[in-house]
Amino acid sequence: MDIKEAEIEEWVISIPELLNEDLLVVASQYAKFDKTADRPAILALDPDGKLVVIELKRDTADSTTDLQAIKYASYCSTISTEELQQDYRVFWNGRRDGDNQLTPEDVGNKFSEFMDHDVTPGEDGYAEFALDDRPLIMLVSGDSAQRLRRRSSGSNGNRQQSRRRLGRGRPRSARDRRARPVAVPAG
């Protein structure tokens, strides 16, 4: 099986539940860091307001992958809630047709519905909430791409069926919310 990192990235963007976490995908190949071309595969948010840096490796992760992800997490630690929502809007509008673009109010509502804690509407339409400045890191690599492929394609295009089968529920405790490594096979 010859699976590319870009395919895995699209699966996670489309169905983040594949990672057994409740995540709101903000962007992929996030490239808004000053003076560097480095970019994490996926930037997401958990319901507690914690950023999640997801680094994907098709093959087994090498000895520098964890350091790479730590570097990305440190870059993300200064992102504001408004900047995060603006980046979400740009990313998702880039994946929509021109007549169906998200407004700041749409984005603010999406974040309000997703978050587990107090969120208030801002004057500009974006949601105001506490964003934890200590991002989580999730490394996805190694030997489980077959499992990911079965989960993403087993629904025959029916995303709702896939969500039901994967269990869309939120983790029960803070310990359950810790990012867990997931392995993806080399092919």
Q: Is residue 182 part of a domain?
A: no
pTM of the model: 0.68
In the three-class reduction of DSSP (H, G, I as helix; E, B as strand; rest coil), residue 100 is classed as coil
Residue 113 lies in a domain: no
Share of the chain above pLDDT 90, in %: 26
Q: Select from 81, 98, 71 the least CA-distant residue to 26.
A: 81
- CATH at residue 35: 3.40.1350.10
**What pLDDT does 11 receive?**
86
In a domain, 56, yes or no: yes
Higher pLDDT, 76 or 50: 50
Which residue in 126, 124, 143, 132 sits closest to 59, CA to CA? 143
Q: Which of 183, 153, 185 is nearest to 166 (CA)?
A: 153
Is residue 97 predicted with pLDDT exceeding 60?
yes
The alpha carbon of 47 is separated from its chain's Cα centroid by a whole number of angstroms, namely 12
- 118 within some domain: no
Is there a domain that residue 120 lies in? no
Helices (H) and strands (E) in the chain, counts: 7, 6
35 in any annotated domain: yes
Give CA separation, 53 vs 25, 26, 101, 143, in Å. 10, 10, 25, 20
Of 42-51, 98-107, 174-183, where does mean pLDDT reach its minimum? Answer: 174-183
Query: 97 Cβ partners below 8 Å, 6+ apart?
Result: none
Residue 14 included in any domain: yes
Task: Please say if the pLDDT value at position 108 is more than 90.
Answer: yes
Q: How many domains does the chain have?
A: 1
Give tens-digit pLDDT for 149-170: 444 444 444 433 333 333 334 4
Most confident of the ranges 81-90, 112-121, 174-183: 81-90
Domain that holds residue 59: 5-79+131-177
Whether 38 is covered by a domain: the verdict is yes
Are 40 and 56 within 8 A, CB to CB?
no
